[in-house]
């Protein structure tokens, strides 16, 4: 049953009160028409709870804008949405098209720092977010007393004489809920083993992130990426007001889980508001925190991934690089949602502490 306006409703009760489901929940396909975003297809979904998000099929089925009751959940960069026609793969040029957003997918064959791996130059974070999806579809309707909205699309990253991978993505949301679910299947559609790396770059921003906001994660260990992150490492999970000249700090978290399931999020106790991501550590063993407190670039990345962001060459050398055999599929399941009030942020913190049990976080 859908929960709306403080009570539960059956399908029949709601259908007696509305002429069309769009009175409560909407799915609006449209096309962006201005500037560097011109021609980019988009699908806006609202669930009736105040939760609203936008999927960009032309940007790898990623999620750009997201909000709850008019409050943004994610950081949006100065680039705005950018057509994949402007994608630049070299070095750090990927950043010219990085609009932030709730979910930016990185992969499929590599992500992380630019590097040269076995003679091949690789730019930042891979290609998948800049590949338009095909076979895009919307499926919505009732299952008993639950109304759902499902979006699907297939993103193919393929090269002559190179790796050929296919990402099949399904995004699911329900009437009255303030969360969404992502199910991804990455398949090697080629005839040779292919390297595979996957990162979910979840970019939380103001007002989730503000002075006094905190990272909540069942972190067993926290490892600074470099000397910059090591300075002030004890404050890895505490966030300040925006600062001049802030240089990004990146931390690697090893988190506790229960039967594989774990979560991490950011809460703003001053307004009783937050956002989180839940995932399966068996699928995504690494959690990367991107702490960027700069003016304008004011964001906390909560990023589950298959690997660290050190570059594919280093991941290969460390023995962490995965290969998919021809026909092999890797699956990933995530839940992203809103913590709408102080009670929900407190409940989330209790769940994190429950995963930790008696263990304490070690900052290395």
CATH of residue 200: 2.70.98.10
List the domain range (segments joined by +) for residue 43: 2-363
Are the CB atoms for 45 and 151 separated by under 8 Å?
yes
Q: How far apart are CA 69 and CA 52, in angstroms?
A: 8
Confidence of residue 192 (pLDDT cuts 50, 70, 90): very high
Provide the sign of the torsion angle of the four alpha carbons 302, 152, 40, 175, taken in this order: negative
pLDDT at 174: 98
3-state secondary structure of 20: coil
pLDDT at 116: 98
pLDDT at 123: 98
Give 32-86 pLDDT, tens digit per residue: 999 999 999 999 999 999 999 999 999 999 999 999 999 999 999 999 999 999 9
pLDDT at 289: 98
Q: What is the pTM of this model?
A: 0.97
Backbone angles phi, psi at 76, to 5 degrees: -120, 125
Q: What is the mean pLDDT of residues 240-251?
A: 97
Give 79-134 pLDDT, tens digit per residue: 999 999 999 999 999 999 999 999 999 999 999 999 999 999 999 999 999 999 99
Quote the number of domains for the chain.
1
Q: Please report which residue ranges of the chain form alpha helices under DSSP H.
A: 11-15, 227-230, 312-317, 342-356
């Amino acid at each position: 049953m859908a929960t709306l306006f403080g009570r539960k409703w059956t399908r029949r009760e709601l259908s007696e009160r509305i002429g069309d489901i769009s009175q409560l929940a909407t799915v609006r396909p449209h096309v962006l028409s201005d500037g560097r975003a011109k021609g980019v297809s988009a699908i806006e979904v609202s669930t009736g709870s105040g939760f609203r998000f936008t999927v960009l099929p032309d940007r790898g089925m990623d999620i750009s804008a997201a909000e709850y009751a008019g409050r943004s959940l994610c950081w949006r960069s100065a680039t705005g949405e950018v057509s994949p026609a402007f994608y630049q793969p070299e070095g750090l040029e990927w950043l010219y098209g990085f609009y932030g957003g709730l979910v930016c997918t990185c992969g499929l064959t590599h992500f992380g720092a630019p590097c040269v791996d076995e003679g091949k130059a690789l730019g930042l974070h891979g290609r998948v977010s800049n590949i338009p999806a095909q076979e895009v579809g919307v499926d919505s309707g009732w299952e008993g007393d639950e109304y759902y909205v499902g979006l699907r699309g297939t993103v193919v990253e393929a090269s002559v004489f190179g790796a050929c991978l296919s990402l099949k993505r399904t995004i699911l949301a329900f009437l009255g809920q303030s969360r969404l679910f992502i199910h991804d299947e990455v398949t090697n559609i080629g005839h040779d083993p292919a390297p595979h790396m996957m990162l979910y770059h979840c970019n939380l921003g103001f007002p989730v992130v503000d002075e006094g906001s905190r990272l909540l994660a069942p972190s067993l260990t926290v490892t600074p990426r470099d000397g910059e992150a090591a300075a002030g490492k004890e404050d890895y999970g505490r966030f300040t007001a925006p600062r001049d000249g802030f240089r990004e700090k990146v931390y690697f978290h090893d988190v506790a889980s229960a039967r594989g399931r774990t979560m991490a999020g950011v809460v703003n106790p001053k307004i009783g508001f937050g956002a989180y991501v839940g995932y399966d550590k068996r699928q995504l063993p690494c959690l990367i925190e991107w702490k960027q407190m700069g003016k304008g670039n004011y964001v906390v990345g909560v990023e589950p991934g298959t690997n660290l962001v050190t570059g594919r060459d280093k991941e290969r050398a460390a023995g962490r690089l995965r290969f998919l055999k021809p026909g092999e599929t890797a699956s990933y399941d995530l839940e992203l949602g809103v913590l709408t009030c102080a009670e929900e942020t407190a409940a989330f913190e209790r769940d994190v502490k429950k995963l930790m049990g008696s263990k304490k976080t070690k900052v290395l």
